[in-house]
Amino acid sequence: MFVYNFFRVDLGLFASPGTSFGKDMNTQGHDGVDDYLQKVDLFFSLIFKRILSVQRYPIWLYRLTEDYKTESKCWELSSGMSKRLLQERKLHPRQTELQQQGDNFGRKPALNFADNLFDEAENNPSLTEEHLLNHIDTIIAAGHDTTANAVSNLLLMLAIHQDVQEAVYQEVMSVCPDKTKPVTTEETNGLVYTEMVCKETLRLFPVAPLLARKSVTDVKLDEKHTIPAGSCVCICVYTMHREPSIWGPEPTKFNPDHFLPEKVANRHPYAYIPFSGGPRNCIGIRYAWLSMKILIAHLVRNYRFKTSLRMEDLDVKFAIMMRITNGCMVSIEER
């Protein structure tokens, strides 16, 4: 048995090498590569700090601060990751480690994100190098740490709520009991309770706790209140997901039954928006649900998770993304 903190980082790598870039991204700074994730964390924290202090808004003033220098340094180091990937691709056209070896189950994976992107670029001259770098940065930032963060929070919830973990385990063993076989997309359709548990985790701990939009026209809310065109509007998903008028008298209690079909049918569709909503919602939503369920099924059928943390011990930090600051202090036992 061993205790593992900062699980999110490793899970992110576990979840993504075959599907995103076809390689281990070394985001924790192994092999002398810069500690990418720490730099991204600090970068997001500084942006969030700036959002909350109006005096830092004028860029000429912000440029005079130490935080600006740190933020620029972090950006330089973290954007180095996409430049390195592009450079490597130029030196070694399409032959990724995983494609050569196959995955843990001996399957040859489909083309990963990077291969698709670079193939597209070869046939589409309007995709410049800058576009490619931006796409890579978007996928790393939007797709990698979000899922890893969500899954590590989910493991913590399972470790705290042993009864829920047992129910997930029973469901997984009834749907996909053979540990030597990968969990298929079809099988995930049967993981109904597991999905409810994923949803409840993202309700209490939405990875994106604040959504921001600029209103392009005046928006009349009622007779007295209008949001003027040009205003910045923030929706606090975190508080909305804990609002008693929506979630009942115990909104902070972890209760996957919030996602029973009859409960969902009685709620406004936008009462629950961990992936945002409307035309600019998350483009990775389907992939995120799928990868979370597959990952949890693999983990739960092989391991049991425990923790000494209780719900009331947990603290969170907002920094564009939201993290549980206690870390993912879970112990892992082989089943």
> Residue 327 region, left (φ>0) first, then alpha (ψ -120 to 50), else beta?
left
* Distance between CA atoms of residues 273 and 160, nearest Å: 24
What is the per-residue binding string for ligand HEM in 264-303, x denoting contact by CB under 6 A?
----------xxx---xxxxx--xx---------------
Tell me the closest approach of the beta carbon of residue 145 to ligand HEM, in angstroms: 9
Distance CA 199, CA 272 (A): 9
Minimal distance, residue 199 CB to ligand HEM, in Å: 11
* Contact pattern for ligand HEM over residues 114 through 143, marking x by CB under 6 A: ------------------------xx--xx
Residues 6 or more apart whose CB falls under 8 angstroms from that of 42 comprise 70, 74
* Nearer residue to ligand HEM within complex by CB, 25 or 282: 282
Q: How far is the CB of 136 from ligand HEM (least distance, A)?
A: 12
Q: Which pair of structure tokens corresponds to residue 143? A: 């797709």
- Write out the binding residues for ligand HEM, residues 53-92 only, by CB under 6 A: none
Instruction: Give me the torsion for CA of 114, 116, 119, 120, rounded to 10°.
Output: -110
Residue numbers 196-215 binding ligand HEM by CB under 6 A: 207-208, 211
Q: How many CB atoms lie within 10 A of CB 6?
A: 13
We find the least distance from the C-beta atom of residue 289 to ligand HEM, in angstroms, to be: 8
Q: Which residues pair with 288 in a beta bridge?
A: none
282 is in an annotated binding site: yes
Q: 130 near 156, Cβ under 8 Å?
A: no
Output the smallest distance, CB 275 to ligand HEM, in A.
Answer: 5
Using the rule CB under 6 A, give the single segment among 57-65, 145-153, 165-173, 303-311 that binds ligand HEM: 145-153
Task: Give the interface size with ligand HEM as a residue count (CB under 6 A).
Answer: 20
Say which amino acid occupies 242. R
Q: Least separation, in Å, of the C-beta of 152 and ligand HEM?
A: 11
**235 near ligand HEM, judged by CB under 6 A:** no
Q: 207 or 304, CB closer to ligand HEM?
A: 207
Residue (138 or 174) nearer to ligand HEM, CB: 138
Rounded to whole angstroms, the Cα distance separating 222 from 277 reads 22
**Which one-letter amino acid corresponds to residue 113?**
F
The DSSP-derived string for 43-74 is HHHHHHHHHH-GGG-SHHHHTTSHHHHHHHHH
- Contacts with ligand HEM by CB under 6 A lie at 138-139, 142-143, 146-147, 150, 207-208, 211, 274-276, 280-284, 287-288
Report the binding-site residues for heme: 282
